[in-house]
Each structure stands twice: as structure tokens, then as C-alpha cells.
Structure 1
Amino acid sequence: MDNNILIFASNNRHKAEEILAVTGDQYKIITLKEAGIDIDIPEPYNTIEANASGKSKMIYQLTQQNCFGDDTGLEVEALNGEPGVKSARYAGDQKDFDANIDKLLSKLDDKENRNAQFRTVISLMWNDKEYLFEGMVKGMIIYERRGANGFGYDPVFIPEGSYKTFGEMTLEEKNLFSHRKKAVDKLMEFLKQQ
């Protein structure tokens, strides 16, 4: 087992780009595709933590190589935490970003409270043990899309402390606020101590 190589248990290239922008070259982080693993990992659980955990454990069992998985959810106050763990499949199993945003905006149509937060949980399998790291950013959902950067709900989410949506930000700007970056920072801090 090479402790400098970490497999990222995901096929999501957007997430991989965001994570690599934070980690730099301290660790060689490779995607499932780069590791030669051609599977789509299911997300059957009803919590973000359990989905992240399921991904890392599946890949660790398959490879016996240190790895990490993540799951992220957008939690909207006025919708009792929806879409939450179902964020990627909010409008159906096809994982259509535009359809998900349409459904969210329609459900928020008559709501004044637009408060929301993005929450990421990373599950790291490291030398046969699991460690969890969480990152969160609070903000609000706006009324229409702005910006074409990022992915998912980025065009309708403005983080606290900004006037831009994630969709209007460069990756560098997004990483000043990002829930994923906060979780990855905690992961990197842990790895430095190993």
C-alpha cells in the first residue's frame, strides 16, 4: 500500500477538480477512472455521512488502498432540510442539474425564508480505519440562476459574505467559501499528522 496515493471514490470530475485545487501535489489523488475502477457507486443511504462512508468502504474493500469518499447535500431551511441527501437526484435518478434547480425554485416559490447550507462529509479509509471530516457553508437560495461556473445548485446559491453565486465565481473564489474545501482542509490536516 502506497500511503502517498489516495483514491477518490468518485466519478464526478467537478468534485475531483475542486479537491485537487485544494490538495495540490502533497498527495497523489487519483479518481476511480485513473485507478482503473469502472463502477458507479450507489448512494442508497438516508444520511450524507452514510453515503460518504459507503463509498470509501466499498473502494477500500476492492483495492485495500487508502481512499476517501464524499457526499454533499444542499439543506434548505424552509423545506425542512430538502433536498439534503437526495440533492443529486432531487428531480429523479437521471441526476439532471437543471431539473433539480427547477424543482427547488418551484418548491421555494412562495417562501420568504431562502436560508440554506451546503454540507460535505468526507469519509477517509486510512490503514483499515475510518475517519470523518465535515465542511459547511451557510447562504441563501436566490430566485433565478446566475453564472455558468461550478455544477449542481451553484447558480442559485450565494454564500454568506458574498454577493455572487457559486456559479458566478472562479474556482479560486469559490474555495474561499466552499464547504468541500473546508472538509478537504480537515482531511489534509489529519494526513499531515500521520
Structure 2
Amino acid sequence: MRKSIGLAVSAAAVLGLAACGAGEGGEIDAGTIDPPSVSDDVTDGYEELEMPQAPTEEEQAAAAKAAQQEAEAGVFYVGEDKAGTEVTLPAGETLRIELETVPTAGYIWQIVEKPDFLELTGERSRGTNPAMQSLPGFTGGNHYMSFDLKALSEGTGVVKLTEGRSWEAAAPEGTFEVTVSVTRVE
């Protein structure tokens, strides 16, 4: 059986080379090939695109402040400045942990440990510089990634997150831990 497969493969190879190779004279006639014509005006059929006006530093700061206020509204907000601390909130409230990362380069935060009395109810991201990052054609840049955790009942426990690329087996690029105490609503 091996011999017949080997012969079949050899025969196919010889036929393929014969079909693609030079004829008996050793030359291949490719004919004449003319290059495609190029018009002088490469913008034919396209509208002129104008670069948008970049926002001023004041506009960027105002947009960042408004976005931060929106991120903190209606939740118990925890940012990077709370790493390693303990926070306390009443049962029924939502804890939002928001950390900076570069998702366009594959870096994301993931919850690797959380107590059972906290339920993950949402994840989202937003640009760190919304005035610039909302311009047409803007790509990349740092983002804030947030996790909303609803406090279901009383308890104390640690929430731990790691930052990295999911396809890399390397140690995390970053870690974040906060101890959360949930109290009874009075």
C-alpha cells in the first residue's frame, strides 16, 4: 500500500511540474503585459476629507471631568487610588471598580476573586480622553474598564483583579485588590 501511495504522489508531482514547467524548447511565452493606467488625479470619485479640529486642553479637561462624574454617579466608586484599602457600603448598593488599561493592545482587567455576596451586574469601558477619542479616525489609546458589583448581603471579603493579555501565559501586568465590607441597611 505504501508503494502505491508513493507512486501516486510521484506521478502527481511529475504531471504538475510538466503542466507548469517549460515546454520542450525550454522557454515560456508570457506574452506582453501592459501596466495598468493610473489617472493623474487619484482623488477621482472621493470627497476631500478634512481633519477635525482638535479640542483645546480646556475642552479635553472639561470632557474628562464630565465623563468622570458620570462614571461615579449612582454607585459607590472605587478607582486605582483605593488599591489595598478597605471600603464599606450598605447592602443593595452597587460597587463600581474602574481601572485604566489599554484594551486596543489586548490588555484587559479580569476579576479573579470576589466574595459570593457581590454579584457582577455589568462591565463597560470608556476612553480616558473622551474629547480626543471621540474624533473621527481616532484609534487606540488608554481606556477605563469598570466592573459593577451589587452588594447582595452583609459580609467582608476581597475583590482581586488582574490585568494582562488573555492569550499570554505570562504573569499579570497589573493587580488590584480591595477589601469590601457590606453592612446591613438600617
TM-score above 0.5 = no
For normalisation by structure 2, the TM-score amounts to: 0.25
For normalisation by structure 1, the TM-score amounts to: 0.24
> Which structure has the bigger radius of gyration?
2
The structure with the largest helix share of the pair is: 1
The structure with the largest strand share of the pair is: 2
Considering Cα pairs closer than 8 Å and 6+ residues apart, tell me whether 1 or 2 has the greater RCO: 2
